[in-house]
Amino acid sequence: MTDPVEAAAEAIIGLYSRHADDWARMRDGPLNADERPHLDRFAAALPKGAEVLDLGCGSGRPIADWLIRRGFRLTGVDASPGLLARCRAAFPGHEWRLDDMRGLDLGRRFDGVLAWYSSFHLTEEEQAGMAAAYARHLRPGGTLMFIGGPARGVAMGTWMGQPLYHASLDPSEYRAGLEAAGLVDIEEVVFRPGTDAAARVWTARRSVSD
């Protein structure tokens, strides 16, 4: 019998694909107050006209929309055709790719890599491999930002009446993985201040000497 937690992890792409319309409606609006300070930090670290890789770009709103309005050039990656169709329709001047972030290798580097509300849907083992994927897509001096949890383990939620899988590494594991991938200036910030149980926002930079 299939383990229900493993089944939920494997079902993530299908869940978002089936409910692309629902997700687009839920996120069609401005950044929320919790997101804005972190994304302001990300944008401030990028050069003018920066090229940004948005991993798990969803429908493009509000994150890609917000970045595009700041003059950045977006390449979005998502595994849901329905969500990518919305990106292409709304932002035709940017690049949108149907792909899986796990093991991704576009053969290009970017000024910024963002995985917002996305990589934490991967298993712990898959997340451990993401540091290398982030690093190979960053130019020297490029900035990374992603969301992780507060401690190693799985956290199950519910969305659209279905189990919704989230997982996290321990913060020490995230840090060690980023360091091993050659990233520097690693910083961990509580997403919503005031609770130790809150998700963490990680930032790092690729060394300019690479």
Domains within the chain, CATH numbers bracketed: 4-102+110-206 (3.40.50.150)
| pLDDT at position 194 over 80 | no
Output the average pLDDT for the chain. 94
Are 54 and 75 a contacting pair, CB within 8 Å? yes
Helix 20-27 / helix 81-90 crossing angle, nearest 10 deg: 50
d(CA 159, CA 137): 31
Q: What is the pLDDT of residues 103-150, one digit of tens each?
A: 899 999 999 999 999 999 999 999 999 999 999 999 999 999 999 999
Q: pLDDT (tens digit, 9 = 90+) per residue, 49-93?
A: 999 999 999 999 999 999 999 999 999 999 999 999 999 999 999
Top pLDDT among 17 and 91 is at 91
Of 181, 60, 53, 70, the closest CA to residue 111 belongs to 53
Centroid of chain to Cα 96:
15
Strand-strand pairing, 153-159 and 162-168: antiparallel
pTM for the whole thing? 0.95
